[in-house]
Structure formats: C-alpha cells, structure tokens
Structure 1
Amino acid sequence: MSAEAAPRELRVSKDRRQLTVRYADDATDVFPAELLRVVSPSAEVQGHSPEQRVTVSGKRQVAIADLVPTGHYAVRIVFDDGHDTGIFTWVFLAELGRRQGERWEGYLADLAAKGLSRDR
C-alpha cells in the first residue's frame, strides 16, 4: 500500500466514536475519535513548533460529527466539540496507523505529567 494513496473507504461507526480506514490492499486501521481529536494535525493542537504543541484533555467522549473531503489527498474531520481545522492527509493517517499504540501511550503520559484527565 502506498501511504500516499487515497483509502478505499472511510467509515464512521454508528456511535460516531471510531473511524475505520480501509486501504486498497484491504489493510485496515481503526482510530478512536478521541485519539484523532488529541493528535489533530491542526495548528491549534500542534502549534507552529514542537514547543507549542498542546496536550488536549477532556476528550474521552468526543465524537466525529462529519468528514469533509479535501482534494484528493486528505479529509477534514469535524468533531462534535466544534474542532474542525485538522486536515488529515492520507500520509498522516497511514503513519498514525503504524504508530497508533505509541502515540496513545505518549498522550496518556503527557496527560499524567501535566495532571490532566481524559474526562476534563
């Protein structure tokens, strides 16, 4: 699978809390909405440098409100908390799929280090 190729299918679960990405070779990644929200590639979350990256808390119950195609290279994910500025490229989603466990553990460690919670 080419990391730059558009997925064959994007599917939001009925409860709106998961996004399934299926590629042309039938490889599949399943992402919790919470993870997508807290690692959003938006400047609001990532900042303009690593030092400006924000640890987003209180998103355990966040849901996906909409998926908006962006050209042939990405999708903009709209979350029910109003966040809608992250452009999730196919490359970003493929990399996130490969590193999902690592990114999740890093997020939980950041929350703990800053005294933050997934619930508030």
Structure 2
Amino acid sequence: SDPFAETVARAQRYIEAGADCIFVPGVNDEDSIRRLAAEIPAPLNVVAGLASHVIPAPELFALGVKRVSLGGSIARAALTAVERAGRELRDTGTLGFLDGALPYAEVQRRFAD
C-alpha cells in the first residue's frame, strides 16, 4: 500500500462528506507537503514543529499549506525554558534566563486588562 495515495484518497472522502479543510498531522517533508497541497482539492492544514526538521510557517505557506497548527509546540517551548532556567540556577546560580523576559509590571498589566 502507498501511504501517500491512501492519505489523498482519505482526504477526498472527507471532502465528499463535507469537510472544508484537510488536516494531515505528521507530514514533515517539503516534497510530500507540496504534493498533498497540489492533489487535495481543499485547503491543507499541517502541524509545525513535531519533527527535528522544522519548516518555518512562511515556507509551509509557499508549499501550498493554508493553515498551520502548532499542537503542543508552544507548551514544549515553555517547558524547555523552565528546564533551562532550572539548570542555570542549579549549575551557576545566575539569572541569565531572565534576559529578554517580560517585566513583572507588564505581566501584571496583561492579566489586569
């Protein structure tokens, strides 16, 4: 069986059932994305940031993607920042992880609005 052909056929069935956008999670190479966008007659949605090979959103749009989902990518990035801060505190005692952080007053303002 051909996973690409199966994906396109499944997308077609969803379109026939009334879907107005096709979500294909897990595809992460430019050639497959370009081919999917060309062969699926509906807007294509993919997840960015799942694989080690991350394709920037502007490049995904240039490949024909119409919608980019992030899944848990932002949460993973936040967790990574927390881990880096903890390692820095443990290993050096420094607070360099605060460089570029939102000032406390700005955080308070955002939650107050």
Q: Fold-level match, TM-score > 0.5? A: no
* Larger RCO (CA under 8 A, 6+ residues apart): 1
Query: Quick check: which one's strand share is greater?
Result: 1
Greater radius of gyration (CA): 2
**What is the TM-score normalised by the length of structure 2?**
0.26
Structure with bigger helix share is 2
- TM-score (ref. length: structure 1): 0.25
